[in-house]
């Protein structure tokens, strides 16, 4: 054996000298890996393959050494055949090719090692280009703040090749069972109505618990093409000669009033152009603000809004309306990557800011929003865009909605969509009962969170999925109230306290409010409601007072209408000017008709509403959350009257009177005796 190995060993030593010692070093490394149980096949394969490029490099060094060429038969043969330069180049290229080959083998091995074969649902679509696989949500609460845009002019947006806004979700079974047939979701029949079929026992699925079933990979998607209109942007962001002339006119106007300032930047949006001014040292900003009307006169502008200073900048912003307004299409916002980002729980497509950046916000982070503006300012379109954003992004199993429309005609399109818990509510009395149901549901959900020792609904849903608990994930509930000023007029303090309690406590359990009104007054938008709803949208209003009532700042009176808005959020109280997305009634009708084909609603009217002619209506009054407190007040004060309960509980008179009548029915208090106080008969059993 020694004799047989002597010849090749002498060949390697003579050819490569020190490089020949790489072989025992390589073998030693392989042995150490094997002894420590850390070796994998890919490690040994790459370690062995590294010998080839190592010796090739050693060969190149020997050729380059000159005097040592003749000591090796390999180098001597190469130099004699093709010469030293060609031999050097060939050996270096060969070494590079060998390294590339090893890298390719590593890539192939790693790809095979990590590849997983996903089971295809029998009804899943066969065209992979129509679906977008979303990664697991990345919890990053600080990354959802709307971007105000860069200082430079925005870059032209690149159209997305895909013509859909598909979202792949995993809906749970109840309350809406969906099946995929012929490219659409349909309502499944009642299991009791299905006929039993005989087949191969091997084809039968194993029964699993309802709450611990495997997640189904069903895709809930609504197309954009054919449902939503496309609008040309007209390259509104380009700075043309008229814009430059306006900048010079602005500077000359300020000089006429003794204000030295330079135009340091121009940010042109779809509706508004902002000129950034740098005032000379010693110039008071109030002098510039007071010249708004003079600037509007010189520039022939309908209105001028001055931002002094621009937050985070050493500049003053002068906002001038564009000569031609560009339409911000709803379809354009749906194609934004931020709208499909998995970190967004309930993304809402609001519109575009002045630099032309799309503003997509997460409703769960807002967590409630107040919308107010005059008639024709774009308030109803904004409400429609919020609802349609939910329809495009979330399945009925993930988000449920309660729509309240006292005006009857604004939200009628959405009846019978699968996301609804009840048909659109138009009666003020039933609207208040729907909000009371949200209070009961909020308390029930807090009990569920406490049972699993989690803080919010996101953690709850993640925990039941990770631990495969026998329960269903909790869907979000979005309550949209259009023209809630009408409800405030009928319910008053009672509705105000209900909304305030929901706004203060319902965020953690996944219940979110969207309140809209066209009458921004202090008796409608009260301080208690504003304190619990920090995110607000102000459209065009009539006066500075109305603007202050909505967003606690002036500026909404300078808006142009037609979707021009000021948005303040919980994370940024400074008003951000946006042009809202435009969504026509025809587009809403087409989207709603398509969504209705994806499933049927599972109404729970019996749980939400109580009818007066119901036999159980009186018994239902016992479920009033304030009933027990009212009994305590009556027993402690030793008197029972509706007016007294109204003052102590700060509720409406009708509700207080019903409580007193219920106490009489239960035998706690006696009947009414004219002007005398009711007699306290006995205390309720507290056991």
Domain at 254, CATH number: 3.30.980.40
The answer to whether residues 403 and 504 belong to one domain is yes
Query: Residue 327 phi/psi, 5° resolution?
Result: -90, 130
Give per-residue pLDDT as tens, 182-201.
333 334 444 344 333 333 43
Instruction: Say whether both 501 and 576 belong to one domain.
Output: yes
Q: What is the mean pLDDT of residues 69-76?
A: 65
Alpha carbon 80 to its chain centroid, in Å, reads: 71
- Cβ atoms 320, 577 nearer than 8 A: no
Residue 645 lies in a domain: yes
* Cα 588 from Cα 387, distance rounded (Å): 10
Q: Give the confidence band of 53 by pLDDT, cuts at 50, 70, 90.
A: confident
Give me the pLDDT at residue 568, please.
95
pLDDT band, residue 312 (cuts 50/70/90): confident
User: Is the pLDDT score of 207 beyond 60?
Assistant: no
CA distance 542 to 520: 10
Q: What is the mean pLDDT of residues 101-114?
A: 64
pLDDT, mean of residues 292-307: 92
400: in domain: yes
Closest by alpha carbon to 484, among 403, 389, 573? Answer: 403
CATH label of the domain that carries residue 661: 1.10.10.10
Amino acid 72: pLDDT = 66
Among candidate residues 114, 143, 168, the one where a domain is terminated = 114
Query: What is the pTM assigned to this prediction?
Result: 0.61
Cα torsion angle, 188, 192, 195, 197, sign: positive
> Does any domain span residue 434?
yes
* Most confident among 214-228, 452-466, 663-677 (mean pLDDT): 452-466
Q: Identify the CATH number of the domain in which residue 382 sits.
A: 3.40.50.300
Mean pLDDT of 521-546: 91
Domain identity same for 538 and 652: no
Transcribe 565-610 into DSSP letters: EEEE-SS--S-EEEEEPB--HHHHHHHHHHHHTT------HHHH--
Percent of the chain whose pLDDT exceeds 70: 70
Mark whether 415 and 534 lie in a shared domain: yes
> Based on the domain organization, do 534 and 634 belong to the same domain?
no
Q: Is the per-residue pLDDT at 144 higher than 50?
A: no
Q: Report the pLDDT value the prediction gives residue 234, as an integer from 0 to 100.
A: 67
206-210, 327-331, 417-421, 528-532: range with lowest mean pLDDT: 206-210
Asked if the model's pLDDT at residue 308 lies above 60, the reply is: yes
In a domain, 509, yes or no: yes
- CA separation for the pair 174, 474 (Å, rounded): 10
| pLDDT computed for residue 229 by the predictor | 92
Q: Which residues contact 547 (CB under 8 A, 6 or more apart)?
A: 538, 541, 553, 554, 555, 556, 557, 566
317 shares its domain with 337: no
- Band (468; pLDDT cuts 50, 70, 90): confident
Q: Is the pLDDT of residue 578 over 90?
A: yes
Tokens of 192: 């009791």
In a domain, 26, yes or no: yes
SS3 673: strand
Query: Structural domain tally of the chain?
Result: 4
Domain boundary among 94, 114, 134: 114
| Domain assignment of residue 253, yes or no | yes
Range in 211-215, 470-474, 530-534, 609-613 the model is least confident about: 211-215
612 against 681, higher pLDDT: 681
617-669 pLDDT tens trace? 444 444 577 888 888 888 888 888 887 887 788 777 777 888 888 888 888 88
Query: Which of the 8 DSSP states describes residue 539?
Result: -
Using CA atoms, how far apart are residues 508 and 515, in angstroms rounded to an integer?
19
Residue with the bigger pLDDT between 299 and 471: it is 299
Query: Is it the case that residue 453 has pLDDT exceeding 80?
Result: yes
Compute the average pLDDT of residues 550-575.
92
- At which of 114, 136, 151 does a domain end? 114
- Of 569, 543, 566, the C-alpha closest to 271 is 566
> Mean pLDDT throughout 291-307?
92
For the chain, the residue count is 687
Q: What is the dihedral of CA 456, 458, 462, 464, to 10 degrees?
A: 50
Long-range contacts of 236-241 (CB under 8 A, 24+ apart): 236/268, 236/269, 236/270, 236/322, 236/324, 236/326, 236/356, 237/153, 237/154, 237/156, 237/268, 237/269, 237/355, 237/356, 238/153, 238/268, 239/153, 239/266, 239/268
Predicted local confidence at residue 235, as pLDDT: 76
| Residue found by looking up tokens 């607000």 in the block | 536
H or E, element range at 263: strand 261-268
**Predicted local distance difference test score (pLDDT) of residue 329:** 93
What SS3 state is found at 142? helix
373 and 311 share one domain:
no
Range of the domain at 301: 241-321
Say if 99 falls within a structural domain. Answer: yes
How many angstroms separate the CA atoms of 102 and 269, rounded? 52
Q: Are residues 427 and 463 in the same domain?
A: yes
What single DSSP character describes residue 302?
S
Residue 439 lies in a domain: yes
518 and 396 within one domain: yes
Statement to judge: residues 268 and 315 lie in one domain:
yes
Question: pLDDT higher for 334 or 19?
Answer: 334
| Whether the predicted pLDDT of 672 surpasses 90 | no
Same domain, 395 and 532: yes
**And the tokens for 176?**
């809406």
Same domain as 599, residue 631: no
């Amino acid at each position: 054996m020694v004799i047989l190995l002597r010849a090749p060993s002498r060949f390697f030593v003579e050819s490569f000298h020190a490089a020949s010692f790489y072989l025992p070093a390589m073998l030693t490394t392989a042995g150490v890996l094997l002894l420590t149980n850390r070796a994998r096949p890919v490690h040994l394969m790459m370690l062995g393959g590294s010998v080839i490029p190592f010796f090739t490099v050693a060969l190149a060094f020997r050729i380059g050494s000159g005097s040592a060429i003749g000591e090796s038969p390999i180098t001597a043969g190469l130099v004699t055949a093709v010469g030293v330069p060609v031999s050097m180049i060939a050996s270096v290229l060969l070494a590079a090719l060998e390294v590339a080959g090893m890298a390719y083998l590593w890539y192939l091995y790693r790809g095979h090692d990590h590849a997983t074969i996903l089971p295809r649902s029998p009804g899943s679509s066969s065209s992979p280009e129509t679906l977008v696989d979303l990664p697991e949500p990345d919890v990053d609460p600080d990354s959802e703040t709307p971007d105000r845009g860069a200082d430079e002019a925005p870059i032209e947006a690149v159209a997305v090749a895909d013509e859909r806004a598909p979202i792949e979700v995993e809906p749970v079974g109840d309350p809406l069972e969906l099946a995929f047939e012929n490219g659409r979701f349909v309502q499944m029949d009642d299991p009791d109505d299905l006929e039993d079929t005989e087949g191969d026992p091997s084809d039968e699925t194993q029964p699993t618990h309802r709450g611990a079933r495997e997640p189904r990979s069903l895709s809930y998607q609504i197309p954009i093409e054919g449902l939503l209109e496309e609008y040309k942007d007209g390259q509104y962001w380009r700075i043309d000669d008229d814009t430059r002339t306006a900048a010079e006119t602005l500077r000359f106007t300020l000089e006429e009033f003794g204000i030295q300032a330079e135009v340091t930047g121009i940010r042109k949006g779809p509706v508004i152009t902002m000129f950034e001014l740098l005032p000379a040292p010693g110039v008071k900003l109030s002098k510039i603000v007071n010249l708004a009307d003079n600037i509007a006169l010189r520039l022939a502008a309908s209105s001028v809004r001055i931002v002094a200073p621009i937050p985070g900048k050493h500049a003053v912003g002068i906002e001038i309306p564009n000569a031609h307004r560009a339409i911000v299409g709803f379809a354009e916002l749906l194609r934004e990557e931020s709208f499909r980002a998995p970190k967004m729980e309930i993304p809402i497509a609001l519109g575009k800011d002045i630099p032309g950046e799309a503003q997509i916000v997460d409703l769960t982070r807002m967590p409630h929003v107040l919308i107010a503006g005059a008639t024709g300012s774009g308030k109803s379109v904004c409400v429609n865009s919020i609802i349609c954003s939910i329809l495009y992004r979330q399945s009925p199993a993930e988000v449920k909605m309660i729509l309240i429309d006292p005006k009857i005609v604004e939200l009628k399109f959405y009846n019978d969509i699968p996301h609804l818990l009840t048909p659109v509510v138009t009666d003020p009395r039933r609207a208040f009962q729907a909000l009371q149901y949200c209070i009961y549901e909020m308390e029930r959900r807090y009990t569920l969170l406490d049972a699993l020792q989690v803080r919010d609904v996101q953690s709850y849903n993640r925990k039941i999925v990770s631990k495969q608990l026998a329960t269903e994930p909790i869907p979000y509930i979005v309550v949209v109230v259009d023209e809630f000023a009408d409800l405030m007029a009928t319910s008053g303090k009672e509705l105000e306290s209900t909304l305030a309690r929901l706004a203060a406590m319902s965020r953690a359990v996944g219940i979110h409010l969207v309140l809209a009104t066209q009458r921004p007054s202090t008796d409608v938008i009260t301080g208690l409601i504003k304190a619990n709803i920090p995110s607000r949208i102000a459209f065009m209003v009539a006066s500075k007072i109305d603007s202050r009532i909505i967003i606690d700042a002036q500026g909404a009176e300078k808006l142009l209408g037609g979707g021009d808005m000021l948005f303040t959020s919980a994370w940024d109280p400074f008003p951000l000017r946006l042009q809202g997305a435009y969504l026509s009634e025809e587009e809403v009708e087409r989207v709603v008709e398509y969504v209705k084909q994806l499933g049927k609603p599972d109404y729970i009217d019996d749980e939400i509403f109580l009818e007066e002619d119901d036999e159980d209506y009186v018994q239902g009054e016992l479920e009033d959350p304030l009933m027990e407190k009212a009994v305590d007040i009556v027993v402690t004060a030793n008197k029972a009257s509706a007016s007294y309960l109204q003052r102590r509980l700060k509720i409406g008179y009708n509700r207080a009177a019903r409580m007193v009548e219920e106490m009489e029915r239960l035998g706690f208090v006696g009947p009414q005796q004219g002007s005398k106080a009711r007699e306290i008969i006995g205390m309720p059993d507290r056991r």
